[in-house]
Amino acid sequence: MALAIGVSLKMYFGHARTLEWVDAVAALARRHPAVRDGIVRLFVVPTFPALVPVLERVAGTGIEVGAQDVAWADEGAYTGEVSAVELAEIGVRLAEIGHAERRRLFGETEQVVADKTAAALRNGIVPLLCIGEAERMPVADAARECIGQLDAAIDGSPGGELLVAYEPHWAIGAERPAEPEHIRTVLTALREHLAATPGFAGGAIYGGSAGPGLLTELAGATDGLFLGRFAHDPAALEAILDEALRIRGAAA
């Protein structure tokens, strides 16, 4: 299974800067053996207005493109929303669902997350399902909390591929990620639970102030990383691809 390495740009960049960044990442993907040889499944998640030009720029590079949100409905009078039907039509492969900021700032509930997850799955979009405990707590409690969020998110869904992004809310935007042993324990629980859930397949990756060096620390315990501001510099992303290459080379 390829290591999933993804970058969300949130709302940090304007349109021109987004396209400049994507051009640099596309050039990186074309020449880097981790992407060329299928060791890494690289994906980028820009803003909605950038989706079509980003899809055009990454064509043929192996980079997958995700959306930062998705509507729970497939069509109708929902001003400002974007459906999974339309995302699939233009070639989007993933949709970020349930991020801590969506839950905190926009009041998204577990039911909203479940409805969006179902909409993505029924339209062939891979949910990039963000889950994580809101406050610091013992790791066993964090694992139980996250498994509960996962079960709630897929309740009523038709089944399919999931990419679970474990992002403890208290680590998002922090100077450092959560402690490696904490991450390992929660990710192991999530991966085992997902593997034992009928009708679903996929992996679990870590986000929350993730950056260069963390993939090495988590080797064997994660299916990849979900990156934010630390990957705004393409050189930092290249360092993480280099890590992936070393990890898989050592395991071969």
99 is catalytic: yes
Mean pLDDT for the stretch of residues 63-75: 98
Q: Write the pLDDT tens digit of every residue in 170-212.
A: 999 888 899 999 999 999 999 999 999 999 999 999 999 898 9
The active-site residue out of 133, 167, 238, 243 is 167
pLDDT of residue 241: 97
Q: Write the pLDDT tens digit of every residue in 128-168.
A: 999 999 999 999 999 999 999 999 999 999 999 999 999 99
Q: What CATH number did the domain enclosing 226 receive?
A: 3.20.20.70
pLDDT of residue 190: 98
Residue 62, pLDDT > 60, answer yes
Q: Kindly state the percentage of the chain with pLDDT values over 90.
A: 92
Question: 15-31 and 51-58 helices cross at what angle (nearest 10)?
Answer: 20
Q: Write the pLDDT tens digit of every residue in 105-122.
A: 999 999 999 999 999 999
Residue 23, pLDDT > 60, answer yes
Residue 164 domain boundaries: 3-251
182 is catalytic: no
pTM listed for this prediction? 0.96
The active-site residue out of 32, 64, 99, 243 is 99
Looking at the DSSP bridge assignments, the partners of residue 204 are 164
pLDDT of residue 73: 98
Provide the domain count of the chain.
1
Amino acid type, 60: G
Q: Write the pLDDT tens digit of every residue in 27-39.
A: 999 999 999 999 9
Residue 252, pLDDT > 60, answer no
Residue 61, pLDDT > 80, answer yes
Residue 251, pLDDT > 90, answer no
